[in-house]
Amino acid sequence: MHGLVKTSQEGVNYLMAGKPGTHTMGWLRADKVVRRSFGLNPAVLLAQLAQQAAAEEMRKTLDSIDEKLDDVRRHQRDEVLARLRGSEHAIKDGLDLLESEGDARTMWGKVAGANRSILSVQEQTLLALDAIAQRLEQSKNAKERAKNAEKAAADIGVHLAVLAKCFELLEEFGAIELEYVHRTAPESSAGHRRGLDQARIRRREVASARTGAIMERMALTGEDLNRKVLVHFLSAPRVVNALNESGELIEQFHRSLGVDTSKRSLEKISWMTAVQSAEQWRASVPGAGAAMDLSNQVMDSVARETNSREVRQRVVQALPWKSDPERERRP
């Protein structure tokens, strides 16, 4: 945080958050934050503003991820988030008392221990993401890898939504904790604030590293599929699309953490392009006999996918080995 900037509107201030000159920088409206109790301690005020702004950023990320989840995935997400309902209600009650400057001990009594269940759900979610990365890495063959990649792409949105909710609640919990310490032990508030900042940074670094490992593993899986589109001519485009969408979700989650990431976008290679690529044939088959079998599989796929004789002829002309003539003459 880099200080408050007053505006012409009564009671409305802004502060700059993030690193100047980067996409993480932004101007945050600070008119809904308690001011009277923090009037003599700008450092505590800015710390609380940072936590509330971070919580708001996580809410936006959660809303964005929700838009991309189907009904089944939303149900899965809600089953996990139900375990956080008690903590969420307690924290909301605590925030109400914070904003009305209610009794500090009553406020803390409502939320004390709520962070433990949040941290537990957060760690279980990170472990679930680790398991996804391990399944991708330990897939026994290309077919299994494609299957695991498609499932991973569908599941990642659920886990990211849960992580975003956990971070939102932890930021709000931190704002209440800082207020409690400031009111009950003001001489300790500076050190406590530094400790909370260190804990926030550590949690964000852990989440960033573990979700980043998944993004890297997905990129490698997608690149492997793209090298062998002839083997996966039906599933590869679909899986690559799903992996790209999941990578975008992870990148968005990283931005909400204030982390710069460079996502490797995967190119979707059509089977028409693949059958005309010598590299695709070399990667997909070990020899002429296998190439003949694969040529026949390609023609079977063409027969299922299109009734156009012109398209079939273009594919036949592109094949380095001729397939079974009977397949080529299918109506």
**Mean per-residue pLDDT, 193-198:** 90
Pair of tokens at residue 269? 């290679």
Mean pLDDT (the chain, rounded): 75
Percent of the chain with pLDDT over 70: 69
Q: Say how many Å lie between the first and final Cα of the chain, rounded.
A: 69
CA 64 to chain centroid, in Å, comes to 10
Q: Phi/psi at 4 (nearest 5 deg)?
A: -85, 145
pLDDT tens digit sequence for 83-140:
889 999 999 999 888 888 888 899 899 899 899 999 999 999 999 998 888 888 788 7
| pTM (2 d.p.) | 0.70
**Mean per-residue pLDDT, 24-53:** 55
The yes-or-no verdict on residue 66 having pLDDT over 50 is yes
pLDDT tens digit sequence for 314-330:
555 555 554 444 444 44
What local confidence, expressed as pLDDT, does residue 160 receive? 92
The yes-or-no verdict on residue 331 having pLDDT over 80 is no
User: Whole-angstrom Cα distance, residue 271 to residue 229?
Assistant: 7
| 150 vs 288: which has the higher pLDDT | 150
Read off the DSSP letter of residue 270.
Answer: P
